[in-house]
Chains A and B, each alone.
Chain A
Amino acid sequence: MIALIDYGAGNLASVRKALAAIGASVWTPLVAGEIGRAHGIIVPGVGHFNTTRSLCDDWRKAIQTMADDGVPLLGICVGLQWLFDGSDEAPDAKGLSTFKGTCFPFTQHVSGRLKVPHVGWNSLVMPRPSRLMAGVKDGTQVYFTHSYAAPVVDDTAAICEYGVPFSAAVERANVSAVQFHPEKSGDAGLRVLSNWYSDAV
């Protein structure tokens, strides 16, 4: 069973639908204590980094403990940003610091005709092999919608560029995350979700 964490960060329907399509069973734990039985954990998210404050100490500890025990953890969009140290979007809200660095606004880097938010299909380059991005070729396009981005780090598994290069996917051991929306990225997105899910079963 996959625990899909609902901390009020918008719509989970499309994530649920995509997980059903790859054969995953999913539930949304009501309290942090419930996630102990999960074979995998997904931290989704759209919108503002500040919403991750709803993941209070109980949830943070429970998710961290599971990740330390080797349970596959996947962050999506703001869920990826939450696995970094934090974001300039809400400096007081701390991330889990699995990956080092602070998420930055595109407005710092983009100029001219580039619009913010970065909305739409953009292409990926894989700097190294990873389990998460296995079978996804350089140049594959996936769907993004975000105004803040995570820096490229050693654990970056996919890079995208929008005025500035940023982490489109990260992976270290059992912890991985994507800035794009695999649930809205057609076949390529389902492939990434399947790759992750195969570690959870």
Chain B
Amino acid sequence: MLSKRIIACLDVRDGKVVKGVNFEGLRDAGDPATLARRYNAEGIDEVVILDVTATIEDRQARAHTIAAVANEIFLPLTVGGGIRNEGDAAAAIEAGADKVSLNTAALDDPGLITTLAKKYGSQAVIVAIDAKRDGHGFAVYARSGQALTSRSAIEWATQATGMGAGEILLTSIDRDGTKGGFDCELTAAVSDAVNIPVIASGGAGTFEHFAEVFTSGHADAALAASIFHFNEKSVSDLKQFLAKQDIPVRK
């Protein structure tokens, strides 16, 4: 049976892992390679490196951080943040990424999804969507949550899928870093609208939150950062908890 994936996110700035709340107020959480090694030992299924400031400060995700993390794990590694064009994607993949995550660049030029999917295969192209509740719907934001776009999350996820995205990484801006639980309504709405895997992100605080997003949220994978970084919770304990709830996980 296909397992629900637990993904650790390393938000990196200046070579260090940082984490904020609602995309702001970053605090230092340590060295990316050291954290990756720990998560690997604890049984994480996948690792994502997001250069949280790259788009804003016009800087690429750093190749040496990617290589340092890649050297610690024999697991799928995704790199996002500042992947603006084919060259940025090629640099990340050459440095050791298996997948790239597009956000603002895909909003500016959806054709980039197709270009990269043709070059590397859809499995290598994740479209990251930062969404925020807006009345009864979910609005998409660009530039690390700073710029409101005219798109709705469901409409954009559907379009991105059609253009060749292999997975959707869906972050709730409202929940990011709050530990108040994933936005299951948002996740289910997007997951039901597309036929590709959806990774839920933003709000993980307890083991129950993961169980909720895998059941009522229809998520295929769940991504978390702060809950793991500061040694609050271990990946292995989380997996034991989920297995007891009959949620399929990798042992």
Contacts and interface: CB of A to CB of B under 8 A. Distances in A.
Chains A and B come from one and the same complex: yes
Interface of A: 10-11, 13-14, 17-18, 21, 46-48, 113, 115-123, 141, 143, 145-147, 161-162, 181, 183-187, 189-190
A185 B1 contact: no
B250 interface: yes
B93 A121 contact: no
A141 B6 CA distance: 14
Contacts of A118: 2
B121 to A, nearest CB: 3
Contacts of A122: 1-3
Contacts, number: 97
B51 interface: no
A136 B93 CA distance: 30
The size class of the interface chain B forms with chain A is: 20 to 34
Contacts of B45: 120-121, 143
B238 to A, nearest CB: 15
Given A10-B120, A46-B121, A17 B71 contact: yes
B26 interface: no
B79 to A, nearest CB: 12
Contacts of B122: 47, 117, 147
B70 A14 contact: yes
Contacts of A119: 123, 166-167, 197, 220
B166 A186 contact: no
A23 to B, nearest CB: 14
B96 A46 contact: no
Interface string B170-212: 0000000000000000000000000111000000000000000
Interface core residue of B71, B123, B124, B196 (most chain A CB under 10 Å): B123
Contacts of B250: 121, 141
Main secondary structure of the interface of B (DSSP, over half): loop
Nearest to B122: A117
Nearest to B71: A17
Contacts of A115: 195-197, 220
13 contacts: A11-B94, A11-B120, A13-B93, A21-B74, A46-B124, A47-B124, A113-B218, A119-B220, A120-B45, A121-B3, A123-B1, A141-B3, A187-B74
A17 B70 contact: yes
Given A119-B197, A120-B2, A184 B70 contact: no
Interface string B97-114: 110000000000000000
A46 B123 contact: yes
B76 to A, nearest CB: 5
A127 B220 CA distance: 28
Given A17-B71, A115-B195, A184 B76 contact: yes
A117 B123 contact: yes
B74 A189 contact: yes
